[in-house]
Amino acid sequence: MAALPFAVLAAGWELVARYGRFPPRLFPSVEQIALSFAQLSASGILLHHAGETLARLAASFAIAALLGALAGIAMGRSRNVEGLVLPLVSIGAPIPGIAYAPLFLLWFGLGNAGSIVLVAFVSAFPVAINTWTGVKAVKEIWIRAAQTMGADERRLFRHVILPGALPYILTGWRLGLAQAWRILVGVEMLAAVPWGLGWLIFGAREFLNTDVMLAGIVAIGAMGLALEKLVFQPLERYTVVRWGMMAS
Amino acid sequence: MRALISIVLFAALYEAVAHSGAFAPALVPGLTIIATRLYSMLADGSMASHALATLYRVFAGLGLAAVSGLVLGFLMARLRPVERFFMPLLSAFMPIPSLAWAPVFILWFGLGNVATILIVFYAASFPMVLNTWTGARAVNPLWLRAAGSMGASGPALFWKVVVPGASPFIITGLRLAFQRAWIAVVGAEMLAASDLGLGWVIFDAKEFLNADTMLASLIVIGLIGFVFERLVFGTVEKATVQRWGMVRTAKA
């Protein structure tokens, strides 16, 4: 049933490819796209590109998830840190991350270093802001109750503040990962990395390999969908929903 | 006040790094150099023409996305088959970042406005469609029945009940769409513009190591984004949704 829209789309595409005014090199048929997707997969090239992209995404997101959460917690717990850091975060967050790309490439070099630092920097903003909101949103009464029962700072943090803020932190991670994903593909095109799905698509332009580009886009879509279904939905189920934090 | 202190501290820190000699001045220019560059670009009108080119692209793409998103969103909410047809397509295309299409659009339409506007359109469409769809479905069924029993027919029902009822979601969708569009336009200009645009200036400046031009343009990008996001769309949200009392009613 869900296949019908895709069949219609493919048929429409095929019609344009056959009878449209685009030359086949620029507008390949569905068959050709599928063929080059199969070829790229079979030769392991697509897998290599996807692996590099995934590794870059994981590395930059790990940095962002950690540093963003730490910054958010520090801002939420300390007035001084909040006063100092929050204005900078609110100024930096709305600037489109990709606008920093050329600057970061100048500062950190083309290739992996520049692109990972950039993607990490950009995706740390939503993590920090959401973590900060979450720490602030922990009910005062829970904190006081724990303190009355003799919890020290460490236990308070571990057993009250962290679980209380976790739904927000997870939302921040989710937003951060989505942001990282959206700009990583663009950054790969700009940063002249040797492997990566963004580069696969961009590099194929030189040779007018539209079929390779579209195969790359299919791979990107599949990866994005997998991230959502395999990473975030289970994560949410096992933590937030299970602890009953979501309903409140 | 605190915000001012933190900005001044940050500026001082940056200035110290810039003058420490650890980095080449071409890569980390001092604040006065950036300010001079910004001033000269503003004075000779080049900044204005870049900003206008970018704004034209962003609003052309956003406008297209808003119109098609509204139409599709309402159709999906009102007609079951439309929803069943488009929902799988939307969820399949949504995870593809708009910039991934850049090389394909460049091949099809060449460098320039068409490719850039299409990338912006792609980026802005999804929040628009999804929010309109959610909003139209979230209209309180009681209102529909009340209006129906008072004799409201199809068009009246749609314009007087469904549209205002869905408006909080639509306006939020518009705001989200602008955020996405603003990101997309900068990236798209780096890849697909050939002579004008704020994204293009930044990218072009890299070739000549003009970090001052980059930072000056970044400031302008940040300011324009801030003005539209907070002032324009924020004000629209206040003037419509909150004034009509939709936010409270929607929650209650």
- Least CB–CB distance from A217: residue in B85, B91, B100: B100
**Three-state secondary-structure class, residue A208:** coil
Q: Indicate yes or no: CB of A5 within 8 angstroms of CB of B86.
A: yes
Work out the pLDDT band at A248, boundaries 50, 70, 90. Answer: very low
pLDDT tens-digit series, residues A177-193: 888 988 898 888 888 77
DSSP string, A39-85: HHHHTTHHHHHHHHHHHHHHHHHHHHHHHHHHHHHHHHH-HHHHHHH
Go through the domains of chain A in sequence order and give each one's CATH number: 29-241 (1.10.3720.10)
Distance from CA of A1 to the nearest CA of B (A): 9
Q: Indicate yes or no: CB of B191 within 8 angstroms of CB of A186.
A: yes
B98 contacts in chain A (CB < 8 Å):
182
A125 in B contact zone (CB under 8 Å):
no
pLDDT tens-digit series, residues B26-50: 788 888 888 988 998 888 988 899 9
Work out the pLDDT band at B252, boundaries 50, 70, 90. Answer: very low
User: Mutate which of B107, B109, B182, B200 to disrupt the A interface (most A C-beta within 10 Å)?
Assistant: B107
B 182-221 near A (Cβ less than 8 A)? 182-183, 186-187, 190-191, 198-199, 202-203, 205-206, 209, 211, 214-215, 217-218, 221
pLDDT tens-digit series, residues A93-151: 878 888 888 888 888 888 888 889 999 999 999 999 999 998 988 888 888 888 888 88
Show Cβ contacts of residue A136 under 8 Å, excluding neighbours closer than 6 positions.
Answer: A76
Higher pLDDT, B239 or B246: B239
- Residue given tokens 């705001």 in the structure block: B175
Q: What is the pLDDT of residue A245?
A: 58
A201 contacts in chain B (CB < 8 Å):
100, 103-104
- Least CB–CB distance from A95: residue in B2, B205, B222: B222
Q: What is the pLDDT of residue A84?
A: 85
N-terminal to C-terminal alpha carbon distance within chain A: 36
Q: What is the pLDDT of residue B247?
A: 52
- Least CB–CB distance from B88: residue in A5, A22, A208: A5
Question: What proportion of chain B, given as a percentage, has pLDDT over 90?
Answer: 24
A108 to chain B: closest CA residue: B27
A4 in B contact zone (CB under 8 Å):
yes
A 46-105 near B (Cβ less than 8 A)? 83-88, 91, 94-103, 105
Q: Indicate yes or no: CB of B6 within 8 angstroms of CB of A88.
A: yes
- Write the burial class of residue A179 (CB in 10 Å: 0-12 exposed, 13-18 middle, 19+ buried): buried
Residues B103-127 have a mean pLDDT of: 91
User: Mutate which of A36, A49, A185 to disrupt the B interface (most B C-beta within 10 Å)?
Assistant: A185
The token duo for B99 is 């910039």
Torsion of CA A100, A101, A105, A108, to 10 degrees: 60
B9 to chain A: closest CA residue: A84
A5 contacts in chain B (CB < 8 Å):
85-86, 88-89
Work out the pLDDT band at A1, boundaries 50, 70, 90. Answer: low
A94 contacts in chain B (CB < 8 Å):
179, 222, 225-226, 229
Whether B251 shows a pLDDT value over 70: the answer reads no
Distance CA A214, CA A201 (A): 8
User: Mutate which of A26, A53, A90, A95 to disrupt the B interface (most B C-beta within 10 Å)?
Assistant: A95
Show Cβ contacts of residue B226 under 8 Å, excluding neighbours closer than 6 positions.
Answer: A94
Q: Indicate yes or no: CB of A83 within 8 angstroms of CB of B95.
A: no
What are the two backbone dihedrals, phi and then psi, of residue A207, each rounded to the nearest 5 degrees? -105, 15
B 96-125 near A (Cβ less than 8 A)? 96-104, 106-108
- Domain limits, chain B: 45-251
B8 contacts in chain A (CB < 8 Å):
none
pLDDT tens-digit series, residues A4-49: 888 888 888 888 888 877 787 888 888 888 888 888 888 888 888 8
Distance from CA of B77 to the nearest CA of A (A): 17
Distance from CA of A176 to the nearest CA of B (A): 14
B223 to chain A: closest CA residue: A95
- Least CB–CB distance from B7: residue in A87, A96, A197: A87
Q: Cβ distance A199 to B102 under 8 Å?
A: no
Q: Indicate yes or no: CB of A5 within 8 angstroms of CB of B89.
A: yes
Work out the pLDDT band at B244, boundaries 50, 70, 90. Answer: low
Question: Which of A128-142, A153-167, B116-130 holds the top average pLDDT?
Answer: B116-130
B92 in A contact zone (CB under 8 Å):
yes
Q: How far is residue B233 from each of residues A174, B177, B229, B240, measured CA to CA in Å? A: 25, 11, 5, 11
Q: Which fold has domain B45-251?
A: MetI-like fold (1.10.3720)
Report the predicted TM-score, pTM, of the whole model to 2 decimal places.
Answer: 0.86
What is the ipTM for the molecules in this complex? 0.83
